[in-house]
Structure 1
Amino acid sequence: MKVPAPGRPVRPTRSPRTEAPLEAAGDPTISRIARAALDGTILGQERAIRSLGQALGGGHFPHAWIFHGPAGVGKCTTAVRAAAVLIDPRSGDRQRQQCVPDPSSESARYLRAGTHPDLRIIRAELAGTSADRELRDRKQNNIPVALLREQMIGGVDSSGSRLDAPVYRSSVMGAGKVFIIDEAERLETDGQNVLLKTLEEPPPGTVIILITNSLDRLLPTVRSRCQSLAFFPLAPEVMVGWLNENLGQVTGAARQFVEAYADGSPGAAVTAVELGLQAWHAELLPMVDQLERGECPLSMAERMNELASEVAEAAVKRNENASKEAANRRATGLLFSVIGAEVRRRLRASAAVPSKLEYWSQVPGLVADAEQNLRANVNQKLALADFVVQWSALEGAR
């Protein structure tokens, strides 16, 4: 995308220009992320922001991106910050070169309200408010093609009606449009394929950013059409500073767990505190000790299933359109992340003991296999039971 000079915005001509809504009901998710992007500090991602500033300041900004890296380190916030520069007609050389939007502009006001007409963040839960009843009633297990058509690329809906393509509409404020697809790894394969043409040749003045924690779950054909930008965990000293400022009330053993669990991710730290994951860790730890001794804790798989189900059921109660399957998958992912934090600790502690190091090095592969089984719709209880049995069969530590 060629970045327009101040006062000379790129204006697609596919559809008539309309006025920006001043006081429309805003998208709370966009509002929350935009406030962080405009008013907060993005820690630990200086390299990514510098790369974006160089691309913006150079006048030629790639029209399709993949922001990839661990969850909770600022990928989506950074995407919205870049979007704020791109879609603001007042952005000047300083804003572009530093990838720092003007926080006082009219465009920034729309972003804070969640009403900016030139930014969309596409995510699975938008299906719950769709005008398409079939899409609205569908469980939010992933990002279906129908949601992509409604929110971005157009096409025919479930009733046979033809949908307008928002990606081809003119920029309302005149500076360009940005479409962000969050958790892009949840795009169905058909959806990724349908997206290819738009990724390769988007309308003038349009930028598409895919956000993912799992780059390998995007098709090679999608990856090859996008500029890739890596995000990393925060450095330990930066993470400690963030914890002191934002979670200073968490102390002692709880603080030690949160710091180890987060592993450089502020988002993971918040999740650990909000969901009380330290209690999960305390409950699973004796069972992990049994596994290390070569024993098979028969109750472990059942208890893991119960913990995941409790969190999933609470999530579904909060959102009646949420998919129980997707909620279970997220909850088991949290369980495996708690186990992963303990495995990382033991790997570091085993560095000088080759047999133990070999033993603990095998466990992440078992976790990956179990998560793949769950994505393949293997029964959750069976997948967890198989995980525990496979772990108990490992040799090396005892």
Structure 2
Amino acid sequence: MIGHGEAEKAFLEAWQGGRLHHAWLLAGPQGMGKGAFAARVARFLATHGRAGAGQAITLDDPGDAAAGKLVEAGNHPEIIPLARQPKDKDKAKGKDKDLARNIAIDQVRGVIRRLHLSLSLGDWRVIIVDAVDDLETDGANALLKTLEEPPAQTLFLLVSHSPGRLLPTIRSRCRILRFQPVEHDAMTSWLHDLRPMIDVAERRAIVAASGGVPGKALALIDSDVGAMEAKLLAIATSGDPGNRLREALAREVGGTSNRARLELVIDIVPGLLARLARERPIAEIAPVLAQWDRVQRTVRDAIRGSYDGSMVGFEIGNCLAELAPRERQAAR
């Protein structure tokens, strides 16, 4: 795991001091491993129970072996997950990829009913809501009532990718652990240790496109980020006279079958623009920032509208072409 150090320290200090708050909001970008952190906390409490004075320990300490085996098998009775469920039509087919849009109120009610039962094993019951952003309005209100009057020895771990959109009253009942994007050098070192066979240029491109989010970096490993970055950079440096490069980009990212390629371009462009801004004299930074804003508007409009991938790709290419040296723009 990477990026969990401060959160782990804060949780363990609270546990060791006997000041374990009943609800923790794990907030940060999607892909930071917040769900994995919640699972580590749940396993820790299932295998350690109440704190002992002065214990210096990590969340990955094995603790009670028997309880640990139940957790690993997904059978520990006091760890209760709450997440979106497969749609009914997919359950019949044995599929689990197509999930419902929200966590339904009936799911929340089912968890609340379990909270009225006595603990059957260990000292803690842990509820993991992943993600709390997915709750229906009625479900969020039902959860809020439980957070206001929590059962004893019950811990809530609420994973949120957009904490600002939650009910303020839910946020106010929680202690917040923020998971910030990992800084560049740490990400580079982590990725090198994880996948040492990736060449330096590709690793640099992945780190830049990931925005400091480890999960995104992992998803980008097999996406040939370096090659796509080179195509985008060629547009920005040449100005693409005749539109040949932009037309090729539009074809590559157009259509529903190429959605992943378009998302790759959208991931790469912010880091590429930041790199161009750093490399240019101060007087030439303003045009880069203007194209940054233009790219962001293009992506927002595409998401709200019909999402024509080829159009979005061509317009992003136009933004990059505007950054070519003046003499090359004149040649266009």
Deviations 1:352-373 (A, max 9, x none): 32332x2333455455545555
Preserved CA contact (<8 Å) 1:85 1:100: yes
Please name the residue that 2:109 is paired with: 153
Distance in 2 (alpha carbons) for counterparts of 1:384 and 1:94: 62
Instruction: Answer yes or no: is the 8 Å Cα contact 2:25–2:160 preserved in 1.
Output: yes
User: Quick one: distance in 1 between partners of 2:283 and 2:40?
Assistant: 46
1:109 to 63, 69, 76: 69
- Native 8 Å contact 2:115 2:151 kept in 1: yes
SS of 2:268's equivalent in the other structure is: helix
Contact 2:27 2:160 in 1 (8 A): yes
State the 1:138 CA deviation: 11
Q: Identify unmatched segments of 5+ residues in structure 1.
A: 1-41, 155-162, 313-330
Supply the distance in 2 between the matched residues of 1:254 and 1:343 (Cα, whole angstroms).
17
Farther off after superposition, 54-63 or 384-393: 384-393
Q: Give yes or no for the alignment of 1:202 onto 2:150.
A: yes
User: How many percent identity over aligned positions?
Assistant: 27
In 2, Cα distance between the equivalents of 1:141 and 1:284? 36
How far did 1:248 drift?
0.1
Q: C-alpha displacement at 1:82, in angstroms? A: 2.0
Q: Partner residue of 2:329?
A: none
For 2:8, the equivalent position in structure 1 comes to: 49
Alignment-derived partner of residue 68 in structure 1: 27
Deviations 1:303-345 (A, max 9, x none): 4343x63456xxxxxxxxxxxxxxxxxx865542222222232
- The one of 59, 82, 93 aligned to 1:100: 59
Distance 1:181 1:171 in 2: 19
Q: Which of 265, 268, 278 is the matching residue for 1:348?
A: 278
What SS does the aligned partner of 2:26 have? Answer: strand
Distance 1:372 1:179, change over 3 A: farther
DSSP 3-state at the match of 1:172: coil
Q: 1:390 to 1:225 in 2, by over 3 A?
A: farther
The answer to whether the Cα contact below 8 Å between 2:302 and 2:312 also exists between their aligned partners in 1 is: no
RMSD of aligned residue pairs (Cα, Å): 4.1
Paired with 2:55 and 2:106, the residues of 1 have a C-alpha distance of: 31
Which of 182, 203, 211 is residue 159 of structure 2 equivalent to?
211
Q: Residue in 1 aligned with 2:129?
A: 181
Aligned-residue offset at 1:379: 1.7
- Residues 1:286 and 1:227: Cα distance change in structure 2 (over 3 Å): same
Letter of the aligned partner of 1:114 in structure 2? G
- Report the alpha carbon displacement of residue 128 of structure 1 after superposing the two structures with TM: 4.6
* Larger gyration radius, structure 1 or structure 2: 2
Larger deviation, residues 48-57 vs 99-108: 99-108
1:304 and 2:253 matched: yes
Select which of 44, 54, 59 maps to 2:18.
59
Q: Secondary structure at the match of 1:87?
A: helix
Please state how far the C-alpha of 1:209 moved relative to its aligned partner: 1.7
Contact 1:82 1:99 in 2 (8 A): no
SS at match of 1:380: coil
**Which residue of structure 2 lines up, in the alignment, with residue 272 of structure 1?**
220
Match of 1:380 among 284, 307, 310: 307
Does structure 1 retain, via aligned residues, the 8 Å contact 2:26–2:159? yes
Q: For each residue in 1:23-75, what CA deviation from the matched residue of structure 2 results, as whole angstroms up to 9, or x when unmatched?
A: xxxxxxxxxxxxxxxxxxx4343222221122212223222222122343332
Deviation at 1:246, TM superposition (A): 0.9
Alpha-carbon separation, structure 1, partners of 2:142 and 2:30: 26
For residues 106-145 of structure 1, the aligned pairs below 5 Å read 106-124=66-84, 126-128=85-87, 139-140=98-99, 142=101, 144-145=102-103
Q: Helix, strand or coil for the counterpart of 1:93?
A: coil
Alignment match, 1:11: none
Does 1:241 find its partner at 2:168? no
Shift of the 52–259 alpha-carbon distance from structure 1 to 2, 3 Å rule, reads same
For 1:354, give the aligned amino acid: A
Q: What one-letter code is carried by the residue in structure 2 that aligns with 1:309?
A: S
Shift of 1:212: 2.7
CA distance in 1, matches of 2:134, 2:251: 27
Aligned to 2:330: none
Q: 2: CA distance between counterparts of 1:193 and 1:332? A: 38
Secondary structure at the counterpart of residue 165 of structure 1: helix
TM-score by length of 1: 0.64
Paired residue for 2:113, among 160, 165, 168?
165
Moved more, 364-373 or 73-82: 364-373
Change (3 A) 1:264 1:164: closer
User: Could you tell me whether the CA contact under 8 Å between 1:355 and 1:396 is conserved in 2?
Assistant: no
Letter of the 2:145 counterpart: K
Deviation at 1:108, TM superposition (A): 1.8
C-alpha displacement of 1:385: 3.7
Q: Aligned pairs, how many?
A: 320
Cα distance in structure 2, aligned partners of 1:176 and 1:129 = 32
Give TM-score scaled by structure 2 length: 0.75
